[in-house]
Structure 1
Amino acid sequence: MQERAREFDAADPLAAYRDRFVLPEGVVYLDGNSLGCLPKATPARLAEVVGREWGEDLIRSWNTADWISMPQRVGGKIAPLIGAQPHEVIACDSVSVNLFKLISAALAMRPERKVILSEPGNFPTDLYMIEGLEQQGLAERRLAPRERIAEALDDNVALLMLTHAHYKTGELFDIAALTRAAHEAGALVLWDLSHSGGALPLGLDACQADFAVGCGYKYFNGGPGAPAYAYVAERHLDATRQPLTGWFGHRAPFAFSDDYEPAPGIERLLCGTPPILGLAALEVGVDLIAEIGVERLYEKSKALSEFFRECLLERGIELDLVSPTDPAKRGSQLSFRHTEAYALSQAMIARGVIGDFRDPDILRFGFAPAYLRFADMAEAARHLAEVFATGEWQRPEFSQRAAVT
């Protein structure tokens, strides 16, 4: 497989982009779906923001360096990568905070309804945000298995909220079909794009989506805790009322009025002062992904994951694949079930092959094609075969779970 990997890498039109990232020597990084790698241009950009814009221009940089419009500018750059218009997307806050804003906005737009429909096993913060509103008597949570989502839609559902690519399995929902079903039931739809934005082609406007959120630190390579982004369809901008009425979401924040008046358009989703350092780092990552092109990244992602499966089979590794076998039906990852998935993941990490574990028994490998090679797939499969052959995953230190994994 190593020879085939070399041939694939030699023919890869994206191969040169690997050199645009910081990659530790001897590491095969298969966790870009949790935290993307550092673009080489990011440290210089942050040094410029800190040293010149903050250090020399001080508060003047809100104007001279245009800090004031960074949420709109970065959001506008993300927009075409998720199939939206620039004025429909803004970069701000975290996924959790943006979920709260948009769930609340949707409930206000459907005042006669209280049910938020999702699926069991959705990413926890999505479900927790519903519970928080439920505790205040503002919402009612309803969960239905993914194969029964459409039939669970009725005239009590205000909002359908789902994650496009499941964080454990990578299985994709059909955005267009479920958005259409929700609209036919009179409900709005909120899509969490955290595991697909920047990795898969998305057509939010084409699918008539209502709302969406996504994170900046996975496939957009914005760094740990990078600002998230939020999308509101143009047709809903005037009607959207979010509950976190901070001063940056005001129509005239520097008028310092005692009374809140929402800003026009997507700016009303802002709340507090924008995190300039985080936005500056995120912008570098977004620019790089835009330069490469999401469509090209997705094609390589599918090729990488299929080649990885071939490498596993050639090495005689038979794991229980929980991701869809069809690469068109999964995100940029492969997940396998094993009773000792945690120990296996730790043994692989000790060898420099960094994937991750999801409780209780999921071994997950992410494929960030901007910087991964086909040779990395062959190398990862080799290490996994050796871990099984030597039994090293059974060492006591690999079975003791850390507080954070």
Structure 2
Amino acid sequence: MDDLDAEAKRLDAEDPLAAYRDRFLPADGVVAYLDGNSLGRPLRAAADRVARFVHDDWGTRLIRGWDEGWIDLPQQLGDRIGRIALGAAPGQVVVADSTTVLLYKLARAAVDHALAAGRDEIVVDTDNFPTDRYVLEGIAAERGAVLRWITSDPASGVTPEQVAAVVGPRTALVLLSHVAYRSGFLADAPAITRIAHDAGALVCWDLSHSVGSVPLELDAWGADLAVGCSYKYLNGGPGSPAFGYLATRHLGVLAQPVQGWFGHRVPFEMGPGHEPAPDVRALLSGTPPVFATVPLQAGLDLLEEAGIAAVRAKSVALTGFALRIADALLVPHGVEVATPRDPDRRGGHVTLQRAGFAEVTARLWARGVIPDFRAPDGIRIGLAPLSTSFAELLAGLRALAGEL
């Protein structure tokens, strides 16, 4: 047994979250699943809940289910995500739509409000996730706003100094990812939010790569808006609904543009004209995806039981071990680490770069080792603390070294 084997064995033996791995369904033929930052693994409890929902909730209650609780699910689950993972008091979060749709609603509402005050600039970085950039490009075209681009280093991320250099009296909105999807860089959200507010701008955080992995404190940061998906570290399943956060002080002030019947003051009144709900339900548009929330509820149960602090502690340990393995086995073969070494600036995944990694990824998948590839030359090692062991991580990176 070499030093890395011994370390993996010790870390797994000392891992207080080790037992949670048994809560997930096994995946036949998978040696190492290293893509939890793209799609979390399914929980055994999720499979049981889906079956019960079909046979009992839907199967026996039928349309009565709406009166018996479904109608309130977007806010109930929103409050729960806020409490468990977002640092958000009740009444500010809903579960609905996709990340892209909720992002459009929130960003468009913020820009429309700011335009009335003569603020017509939207700040975003060049390496933000594509949907964020595309949505903002569309809003700018619709509303005659101007995009102010921050040129971010893909190996790091947006700094407070970069934000301070571009915000000003014309800034309407600053939209950034809390954890950069490519590098895993963890932004200084409190400092950036403060800088934007000092300039009179609103801030929207994309939390898709941090929620369920990194502790968040939206209320304490003074965040205005936030959005994120639930199929990564929250284990909601492919295409599970997103969540949107609208700070209490903006309720009734910012008006989202997709006016649908479920965001009406009294949805079943079915009257003429749209009267927005007076609370965060105004972010809703169409019928909530009730069925799609069932696996998410199981994921939230697990996260609440484990606690976000323990999850973050293991995440730091996993990414730190990944860096030590990379230094020992991969860097000598020309692999570059594109993720911050400082754990305070590192999210839940590690990105490795080398020419030819697209072909390497395909070969790894064929061997049952599953990271993901991000163009032009990055392999992301996505480490889900509740389902990933240190031995699994070592086996996966050893397989990667064997392909070099």
Same fold (TM over 0.5): yes
Letter of the 1:114 partner, please give it. Answer: D
- 1:360 correspondence with 2:392: no
**Relative to structure 2, which stretch is displaced further, 221-230 or 287-296?**
287-296
Structure 1 residues 72-94: Cα deviation after superposition (integer angstroms, max 9, x where no partner): 11111100211111211111111
- 1:233 correspondence with 2:244: no
- 1:171 correspondence with 2:185: yes
- 1:55 correspondence with 2:59: yes
Q: Given the alignment, which residue of 14, 19, 24 partners 2:17?
A: 14
Distance 1:6 1:22 in 2: 22
Distance 1:96 1:63 in 2: 29
Contact 1:82/1:204, CA 8 A, preserved across alignment? yes
How big is the shift at 1:354?
Answer: 0.5
- Uncovered stretches (5+) of structure 2, i.e. residues with no partner: 152-157
Secondary structure of 2:220 counterpart: coil
Letter of the 1:137 partner, please give it. Answer: R
Contact 2:31/2:395, CA 8 A, preserved across alignment? no
How big is the shift at 1:308?
Answer: 1.9
Secondary structure of 2:126 counterpart: coil
Q: Given the alignment, which residue of 72, 75, 78 partners 1:75?
A: 78
Contact 1:20/1:39, CA 8 A, preserved across alignment? yes
Q: How does 1:4-403 map to 2 (within 5 A)?
A: 4-25=7-28, 26-64=30-68, 66-80=69-83, 81-110=85-114, 111=116, 112-145=118-151, 146-147=158-159, 148-315=162-329, 317-318=331-332, 319-388=335-404
Distance 1:98 1:198 in 2: 19
Letter of the 1:88 partner, please give it. Answer: Q
Alignment match, 1:394: none
Secondary structure of 1:197 counterpart: coil
TM-aligned CA distance change 1:383 to 1:52, over 3 Å: same
Secondary structure of 2:245 counterpart: strand
Contact 1:322/1:335, CA 8 A, preserved across alignment? yes
Letter of the 1:320 partner, please give it. Answer: E
| RMSD across aligned positions (CA) | 1.3
Secondary structure of 2:209 counterpart: coil
Distance 1:362 1:85 in 2: 38
How big is the shift at 1:104?
Answer: 1.3
Letter of the 1:118 partner, please give it. Answer: V
- Uncovered stretches (5+) of structure 1, i.e. residues with no partner: 389-405
How big is the shift at 1:235?
Answer: 1.2
- For normalisation by structure 2, the TM-score amounts to 0.93
Distance 2:374 2:37 in 1: 13
Alignment match, 2:155: none
How many percent of aligned residue pairs carry the same amino acid?
44
Secondary structure of 1:38 counterpart: coil
Distance 1:264 1:386 in 2: 58
Secondary structure of 1:191 counterpart: strand
Secondary structure of 2:176 counterpart: strand
Contact 1:317/1:385, CA 8 A, preserved across alignment? no
Distance 2:360 2:74 in 1: 41
Distance 1:105 1:138 in 2: 14
How big is the shift at 1:316?
Answer: 5.5
How big is the shift at 1:224?
Answer: 0.3
Distance 1:316 1:269 in 2: 47
**Relative to structure 2, which stretch is displaced further, 142-151 or 352-361?**
142-151
Distance 2:375 2:146 in 1: 27
Distance 1:269 1:316 in 2: 47
**Relative to structure 2, which stretch is displaced further, 145-154 or 80-89?**
145-154
Letter of the 1:336 partner, please give it. Answer: L
Distance 1:17 1:216 in 2: 19
How big is the shift at 1:385?
Answer: 2.0
Number of matched residues?
Answer: 387
Distance 1:236 1:4 in 2: 49
Structure 1 residues 122-155: Cα deviation after superposition (integer angstroms, max 9, x where no partner): 1011111111122223422221123422210011
Letter of the 1:20 partner, please give it. Answer: R
How big is the shift at 1:4?
Answer: 2.1
Alignment match, 1:401: none
Distance 1:204 1:247 in 2: 28
Structure 1 residues 261-283: Cα deviation after superposition (integer angstroms, max 9, x where no partner): 11121110011000111112211
Structure 1 residues 218-244: Cα deviation after superposition (integer angstroms, max 9, x where no partner): 110000000000001111112121001
- For normalisation by structure 1, the TM-score amounts to 0.93
TM-aligned CA distance change 1:316 to 1:71, over 3 Å: closer
Alignment match, 2:154: none
Secondary structure of 2:218 counterpart: coil
Letter of the 1:58 partner, please give it. Answer: L
**Relative to structure 2, which stretch is displaced further, 232-241 or 142-151?**
142-151
Contact 1:90/1:266, CA 8 A, preserved across alignment? yes
How big is the shift at 1:71?
Answer: 0.7
Distance 2:38 2:208 in 1: 10
